[in-house]
Structure 1
Amino acid sequence: MSGGWTTIESDAGVFTHLIEKLGVKDVQFDELITLEPDELRQLGKIYGVIFLFKYPTGEARSDTPKDGSFDQDAANNLFFAAQTIQNACGTQALLSVLLNKDGEVDIGKDLREFKEFSGDFPPEFRGETLSNSDLIREVHNSFARSSPFVDETQRTATEDDDVYHFIAYTSINNKLYELDGLQLAPISHGACTIDEFPDKIIPVLQRRISRYPATEIRFNLLACVQDLRIRARELGDTETLEAEEQKRTEWLWENALRRHNFVGFVGELLKGVVKDKLSQGNGAYDKWIEDSKAKTKKRAEERQKQGISGDDV
Structure 2
Amino acid sequence: MDPDALAQLHPVYGVIFLFKYPTDVPYTSADKPLEGSFDHEAAVNLWFANQTIQNACGTQALLSVLMNKHNKDGPEGPEAGYIDVGDALRDFREFTESLPSEFRGEALSNSELIRDVHNSFAKSSPFADETQRTSGDSEDVYHFVAYTPIGGTLYEMDGLQPAPISHGACSQEQFPAKVMDVLQRRINRYDATEIRFNLLAMVRDMRIRAKDFGDAEMLEREEKKRRDWQFENALRRHNFVGFAGEVLKGVVSHKLKNGGEEAYKKWVDDATTKMKQRSEQKKMGGAGEDVEMGG
Alignment pair present for 1:281 and 2:263:
no
State the match for 1:94 in structure 2: 62
Amino acid corresponding to residue 9 of structure 2 in structure 1: L
Q: Return the offset for 1:264.
A: 2.2
Deviation at 1:130, TM superposition (A): 1.4
One-letter identity of the residue aligned with 2:52: T
CA–CA distance in structure 2, aligned partners of residues 193 and 274 of structure 1: 66
Rg: which structure is higher?
2
Q: 1:88 to 1:286 in 2, by over 3 A?
A: closer
1:37 maps onto 2:3 in alignment: yes
Is residue 2:126 matched to residue 1:126? no
Q: What TM-score results when the alignment is normalised by the length of structure 1?
A: 0.75
Structure 1 portions without partners, runs of 5+ = 1-34, 300-313
Identity %: 62
Q: Deviations over 1:176-220 (max 9, x none)?
A: 100001111111111111122111111111111111112222111
> CA 1:54–1:297 in structure 2 vs 1: closer, same or farther (change >3 Å)?
farther
Distance 2:287 2:204 in 1: 44
**Residue deviations 1:50-97, cap 9 Å, x none?**
111111136432221111111111111111111111112111110000
1:70 pairs with 2:35? no
SS of the equivalent of 2:14 reads: strand
- Structure 2 unmatched ranges of 5 or more: 72-81, 256-262, 289-295
The number of equivalent residue pairs is: 260
Specify the SS of the correspondent of 1:216.
Answer: coil
Corresponding letter in the other structure for 1:107: V
Counterpart for residue 231 of structure 2:
253
The correspondence for 1:223, drawn from 201, 210, 234, is: 201
CA distance in 2, matches of 1:194, 1:227: 18
Give, in whole Å, the separation in 2 of the partners of 1:244 and 1:68: 37
> Using a 3 Å threshold, how does the CA distance of structure 1 residues 219 and 102 change in structure 2: closer, same or farther?
same
Which of 262, 266, 286 is 2:244 aligned to?
266
TM-score normalized by structure 2?
A: 0.79
RMSD: 2.8
In structure 2, C-alpha distance between the alignment counterparts of 1:240 and 1:289, rounded to whole Å: 49
Q: Which residue of 2 aligns with 1:214?
A: 192
Give yes or no for contact 1:48–1:224 (8 Å, CA) kept in 2. yes
CA distance in 2, matches of 1:134, 1:242: 33
Distance of aligned partners of 1:237 and 1:291 in 2 relative to their CA distance in 1, 3 Å threshold: farther
State the distance in 2 between where 1:231 and 1:274 align: 54
Residue of structure 2 aligned with 1:51, choices 14, 17, 30: 17
Greater shift after overlay, 170-179 or 212-221? 212-221
Q: Do the aligned residues in 2 keep the contact of 1:57 with 1:159 (CA within 8 Å)?
A: no
- Secondary structure of the 2:222 match is helix
Give the Cα separation in 1 of the matches to 2:189 and 2:286. Answer: 34
Q: Could you tell me how far apart the structure 2 residues matched to 1:252 and 1:288 are?
A: 39
Deviations 1:96-146 (A, max 9, x none): 000001241111111111111110112111112112222211221121001
Q: What residue in structure 2 maps to residue 30 of structure 1?
A: none
CA distance change for structure 1 residues 202 and 292 in 2, over 3 Å: closer, same or farther?
farther
Identify if the C-alpha distance between structure 1 residues 271 and 242 changes in structure 2 by more than 3 Å, giving closer, same or farther.
same
Aligned partner of 2:198: which letter? Answer: N
| Structure-2 separation of matches of 1:142 and 1:273 | 33
Shift of 1:273: 5.8
SS at match of 1:190: strand
- The corresponding residue for 1:137 is 115
Distance 1:218 1:270 in 2: 38
Q: Which has the higher contact order (CA 8 A, sep 6+)?
A: 1
Aligned partner of 2:86 in structure 1 is 108
SS in 2 for 1:80: coil
CA distance 1:209–1:275, change in 2 (3 Å): farther
